[in-house]
């Protein structure tokens, strides 16, 4: 009986150490926590929180997340380096973005006519992708690495290339 308790204690200590190391060293976990705090700030009507968190993300992790952008629940930035998300961007639930992704307007200073991308639920945007202008990326889409998306992407599609083109389309939706 005593041997069984000793094994359980060792397993629990090992699990605790692994969790502690993950929480203290993985930047994507830190960014996820900051995004959750910013989301709470938006829901509670505290814009100063969002500005503070935006500054912290930019300074500490190299992520520019405009305080005016909108993102849904379970939005993840997997490798938080070089990500730029403009002010009018709308990101749905369960969206994953990897490093060096840019989501933003296509023109600067054209008198309020700036349009920003909209990313629907369940989409994945891989490293180095650029999505510019009034573009809608549909539900459950995949944007390949280094793709430049300038036109709408239908639901369930995978796009790659410069400029992005559809290489596959899923009928699951």
- Convert the pLDDT of each residue in 98-125 to its tens digit: 999 999 887 765 545 458 999 999 999 9
pTM: 0.76
Q: How far is CA 21 from CA 2, 16, 29, 156, in A?
A: 29, 9, 11, 36
- Convert the pLDDT of each residue in 27-85 to its tens digit: 777 777 777 777 677 777 777 777 888 888 888 888 888 878 888 888 888 888 889 98
Token pair listed for 125: 């945007």
Q: How far is CA 95 from CA 33, 57, 117, 120, 158, in A?
A: 16, 18, 14, 8, 15
Which residue is it, tokens 């930035």?
Answer: 77
Domains of the chain, first to last: 2-169 (2.160.10.10)
């Amino acid at each position: 009986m005593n041997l069984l308790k000793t094994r359980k204690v060792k397993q629990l200590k090992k699990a605790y150490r692994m969790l502690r190391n993950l929480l203290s060293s993985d930047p994507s976990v830190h960014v996820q926590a900051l995004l959750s705090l910013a989301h709470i700030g938006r829901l509670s009507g505290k814009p100063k929180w969002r500005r503070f968190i935006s500054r912290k993300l930019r300074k500490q992790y190299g992520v520019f997340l405009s305080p005016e952008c909108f993102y849904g629940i379970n939005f993840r930035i997997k490798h938080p380096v070089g990500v730029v998300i403009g002010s009018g961007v709308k990101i749905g639930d369960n969206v994953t973005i990897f490093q060096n992704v840019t989501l933003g307007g296509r023109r600067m200073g054209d008198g309020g006519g700036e349009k920003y991308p909209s990313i629907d639920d369940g989409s994945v945007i891989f490293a180095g992708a650029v999505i510019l202008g009034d573009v809608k990326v549909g539900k459950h889409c995949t944007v390949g690495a280094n793709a430049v998306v300038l036109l709408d992407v239908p639901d369930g599609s995978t796009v790659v290339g410069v400029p992005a083109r559809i290489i596959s389309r899923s009928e699951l939706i």
